[in-house]
Structure 1
């Protein structure tokens, strides 16, 4: 008698699962806030050079006399004139007002604080020659997730899922709160790395805890519910960032709830995705609208993925999701940037398919590994995924050479992953294997069935 049979004898889904799973999903919803938090805490508002400290603007006409203009009629962000340029107004897009000698912004910048009153970029002036530091800090965060998957996967199999989950809640709450009080960028990166490590704990143990306590017929529904967790969290993030625009206050707001989950837990118990999602400012629309749009699109794709995993199986669903997402993103890459509606549509559809793929693989991975090594196996798989998520923010830097190059890279990797996925076995309708021997028996049984089918075909043909 398997554990699945025991669950069915006691009612399948009882009060324990009815309390456990909603609490875990709620914690995961807030957990995913940390992944996309830098879209707002490290946002770069409109800015331009500050005139020299001894300048009296009332005597030097106005601020525009110090600023060169680009071909779009906007002040250049990283240069200023060494002396004010007086004379009649120049036509927008001409190089006339760029004939004066320029220098870097040695006296700092003036920011447009109407959208972002305070971010890490404006507080520490991480602009111009330092503008790649936000991508670096996000990669450091992803590296922390990679390290956490290696650590917590082994600990969860040895010490148990519940202990690791409780400690992860505590560490995430502490490291996230410490980020609020950092006084410079290196200290901020250290705290983000520690947060990345602790994010892995609830992420991997919550899924295993839920999966192992559900009967076979309820697992696809778990995949659907867990898929809604990051979507719900990202929707919250857009509203929270709009209501609390100061980066330190927002960081504190997404960290404090895990002290509550730490108390509650005592009573009950990826490359293309992150690269695309961390590029909201590059799509040319309001960042708050982009956050909501890129999140809302997940909802129908979760439902479509749920129906597909139940009807056609895990492997076909995963292959189709990867292929479609790659096609949509590659199509987005070849669309001119001035066709904003079509550009955003393709990017949104591509992101939705990536989300469907991630939702499917989270359940699929848990079903592939036996119970004795499931947590370690899932952790290794997530670790390999995070190997790709670490350089994904850095890929955005390639836009300096060609604006659509990051999209080409994201889309090509998704398409290249399809042939590898075809090699995986199908797990739909199969009980969770408990040991490696169970997997071996299942493989031999499937191989024997194929041989019998081939013999039957040969007999019929003869």
Structure 2
């Protein structure tokens, strides 16, 4: 709480904070594009087996007739995607309007490759390396690789940020992200592509979390809920932007390049960011912390504050924090006391449970229809509105009721969608829109609650652990889609059940609306849990 006094003195929400957000929020938005990039760069187009008589020969027969004698039909009377007739079935030329039983006819896999429908995408990772039929699960592997990179990055860069500072690690991550993303556009093999995407994932999480901490640690407590909402809205705006860019750039290498090159510019412009004075003071870099406070006071035009800020006053104000900084804390301190251990475990479970459906829906837009460009933009717009709505409900109803409401709506909308036939596209898209909107609102509500539940001395470490668990959920989401081989609705059942269970455990957390932030572990131990 002592740092709040210094922050209010230099300006807790002034020109500096606004300019900082103007610079940082675009980074978050474009970094979010990469999280869902495989929706477009790894989209699975329509495809069928390559057949010589159909694709390399000329004759008097029309393509439709050649297709009839070359490719068998599936249960929906559509050409098979993964098999072809062993020999041309000339007798099928005489079929007119009726389809005889052809199950006894000899077929074979696509031994000569596939022909793809390029009407939607000129090329994707799938068409480049034939990730269809027996290799279709490798698309989920591609998505998993990026999420696994984010998981490792959360662990490594979270530790490095606490040790070397938010700004330094952010600048390094921006340069790494620019290099890895640009190189991905020129990947010659599928293995190299996966390795580069893994590397990009490591730096993507550092960009988002370090921007988050820099903005939050320079903002007064009364405005943090609004700031967190703006950061999460930047993610949604990034989704909308991705839909528009993917519509314009239909070739996957070009799209990859377009969303990667700007980070070279961001890496250069990040030099104007200001390091967190809170972190500098807590790590005993008091001279640097005082210099940054004066810089912020000057930018916020708080002339009196710049004159009165001095080393003696700072030490007197931050005496308790400076004493606490002498004792090194670790992530294990989050589990040492019963109250804090309970908070941490419940928070991590809710984070995991809400992340699984978030990425389950976001990464599988093709499941809801063919116009995935429009869906991406619509979902981005809806989640932006939902996050703003969450802020209003958070302020009037509290943290726990808001989370419970949106978590239950997420689960119910997803489970209801499993019973809707594929032909009812309007209803399916409506339910999916409700689901993605509510899950975005649930994430925003969770982030505000998490920030208020963790003590200041452990908040950065808690965010690092939270990011790791989030990556477990985001990595599991694409892997669950491999269960469609057993039951098409099985992944969606998991996506729907997780948030409902999470909604049931939220009431076991304390309500934090209109309560001061905790600074120490002892504050957590002394707090009496309130009920709804």
* TM-score (normalised: structure 2): 0.80
The answer as to 2:118 corresponding to 1:113 is: yes
- Give the Cα separation in 2 of the matches to 1:134 and 1:124: 10
Aligned CA distance change for structure 1 residues 345 and 51 (closer, same or farther; 3 Å): same
CA offset digits 1:305-328 (Å, max 9, x no partner): 010111122222122211111111
The aligned counterpart of 1:417 is 502
CA offset digits 1:268-317 (Å, max 9, x no partner): 23211001111111113322122122222212211210101111222221
1:243 is matched with which residue: 242, 248, 253?
A: 248
Q: Which runs of 5+ in 2 are unaligned?
A: 275-354
Shift of 1:415: 0.5
The aligned counterpart of 1:2 is 2
Shift of 1:358: 1.0
The answer as to 2:25 corresponding to 1:25 is: yes
Shift of 1:44: 1.1
Report SS of the residue matched to 1:143: helix
2:99 is matched with which residue: 87, 94, 106?
A: 94
Shift of 1:246: 0.6
Shift of 1:57: 2.4
- Give the Cα separation in 2 of the matches to 1:418 and 1:376: 25
Report SS of the residue matched to 2:259: helix
The answer as to 2:339 corresponding to 1:254 is: no
Per mean C-alpha deviation after superposition, the further-off stretch among 213-222 and 6-15 is 6-15
Aligned CA distance change for structure 1 residues 213 and 432 (closer, same or farther; 3 Å): farther
Report SS of the residue matched to 1:187: helix
- Give the Cα separation in 2 of the matches to 1:344 and 1:368: 36
The aligned counterpart of 1:377 is 462
RMSD of aligned residue pairs (Cα, Å): 2.1
The aligned counterpart of 1:271 is 356
The aligned counterpart of 1:81 is 85
The answer as to 2:486 corresponding to 1:401 is: yes
Aligned CA distance change for structure 1 residues 163 and 77 (closer, same or farther; 3 Å): same
Q: Which runs of 5+ in 1 are unaligned?
A: 451-462
- Give the Cα separation in 2 of the matches to 1:164 and 1:367: 25
Shift of 1:403: 2.3
- Give the Cα separation in 1 of the matches to 2:460 and 2:358: 23
Aligned CA distance change for structure 1 residues 303 and 171 (closer, same or farther; 3 Å): same
* TM-score (normalised: structure 1): 0.91
The answer as to 2:151 corresponding to 1:150 is: no
Aligned length: 446
Shift of 1:55: 7.9
- Give the Cα separation in 1 of the matches to 2:17 and 2:133: 52
Kept in 2: contact 1:73–1:93 (CA 8 A) = no
The answer as to 2:199 corresponding to 1:188 is: no
The answer as to 2:135 corresponding to 1:130 is: yes
Kept in 2: contact 1:72–1:93 (CA 8 A) = no
Report SS of the residue matched to 1:214: coil
Shift of 1:73: 3.6
Shift of 1:202: 1.4
The answer as to 2:354 corresponding to 1:350 is: no
- Give the Cα separation in 2 of the matches to 1:406 and 1:93: 36
